[in-house]
């Protein structure tokens, strides 16, 4: 008798509901929040649709659009060449497909962030989580649940900026270096507009998640949602960025497979 097919078992589990597909992607529209840099720097584009035809004289049987978007608008994938530290490394089209499907650890800091939107995850926080849940997954994702996806309806609430700049959670500079250089993961996933904390422009180095992760040939996933539906361990993330040749990143559909009892 042939060995049972692993793929057939997966399909059966998906059909039967013992494996749930959780969509971690924020819908992409003109109201999707975008990062705002100081005015002296270039700015990313808000997502826009341009109608080509809609069952009319321009095309009687079909509806379609052109779209305009920044690579880093909405839920998106950061490739290593996004940052100067990784400028000689892979563009988003060159990321190996096998690395787009990987296990994930979901760490929950919603309580801390509710008290302090500038909350920073330290190495000790991750090591304390590992003591309770086991090591971070080899070749997997470190996902930070902060509750920030609840703010995605509003550009103002999502960026949470005042005269001193944005106030959003993230990793400390030392923790970013540790995740990039010592942790076994391939990247970091967050619910905020970028992988760095809002105050990271003042860190040393500035924007350490970008600097350390990209320079270490690791990746970022941003503006994730529904992380509350993931267990601390055991889920598998499928990240599907557009393979833009020479691109520094791309909008992505990000899904998680979660085994249910």
User: Checking phi first, is residue 218 left (phi over 0); if not, alpha (psi -120 to 50) or beta?
Assistant: beta
Active-site residue identified among 72, 82, 125, 210? 82
CB 134, CB 233: distance < 8 Å: yes
CB 247, CB 71: distance < 8 Å: yes
- Can you give 167-187 as a three-state secondary structure string? CCCEECHHHHHHHHHCCCCCE
Q: DSSP alpha helices (H): ranges in the chain?
A: 6-16, 110-115, 123-133, 155-159, 173-181, 208, 214-215
What interhelical angle do 123-133 and 173-181 show, nearest 10? Answer: 50
* Residues 160, 117: Cα–Cα separation, whole Å: 9
| Burial status of residue 5 (CB atoms within 10 A of its CB: 0-12, 13-18, 19 or more) | exposed
82 classed as catalytic: yes
3-state SS, residue 16: helix
Residues annotated as part of the active site: 82
């Amino acid at each position: 008798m042939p060995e049972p097919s692993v793929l057939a078992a997966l399909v059966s589990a998906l059909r039967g509901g013992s494996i749930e597909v959780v969509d971690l992607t924020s819908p992409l529209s003109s109201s999707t929040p975008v990062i705002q840099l100081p005015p002296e720097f270039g700015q990313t584009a808000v997502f826009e649709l341009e109608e080509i035809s809609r069952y009319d004289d321009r095309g009687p049987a079909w509806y379609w659009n052109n779209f305009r978007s920044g690579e880093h608008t909405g839920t998106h994938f950061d490739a290593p060449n996004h940052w100067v530290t990784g400028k000689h490394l892979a563009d988003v089209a060159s990321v190996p497909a096998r690395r787009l499907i990987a296990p994930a650890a979901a760490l929950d800091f919603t309580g801390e962030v509710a008290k302090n939107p500038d909350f920073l995850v330290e190495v000790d926080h991750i090591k304390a989580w590992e003591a309770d849940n086991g090591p971070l997954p080899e070749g997997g994702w470190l996902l930070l649940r902060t509750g920030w996806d609840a703010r995605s309806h509003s550009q103002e609430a999502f960026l949470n900026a005042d005269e001193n700049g944005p106030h959003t959670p993230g990793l400390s500079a030392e923790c970013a270096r540790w995740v990039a250089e010592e942790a076994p993961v391939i990247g970091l996933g967050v619910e905020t507009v970028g992988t760095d904390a809002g105050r990271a422009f003042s860190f040393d180095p500035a924007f350490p998640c970008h600097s350390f992760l990209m320079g270490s040939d690791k990746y970022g996933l941003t503006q994730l949602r529904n992380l509350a539906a993931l267990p601390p361990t055991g889920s598998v993330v499928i990240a599907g960025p557009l393979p833009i040749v020479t691109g520094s990143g791309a909008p992505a559909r990000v899904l998680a497979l979660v085994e249910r009892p």
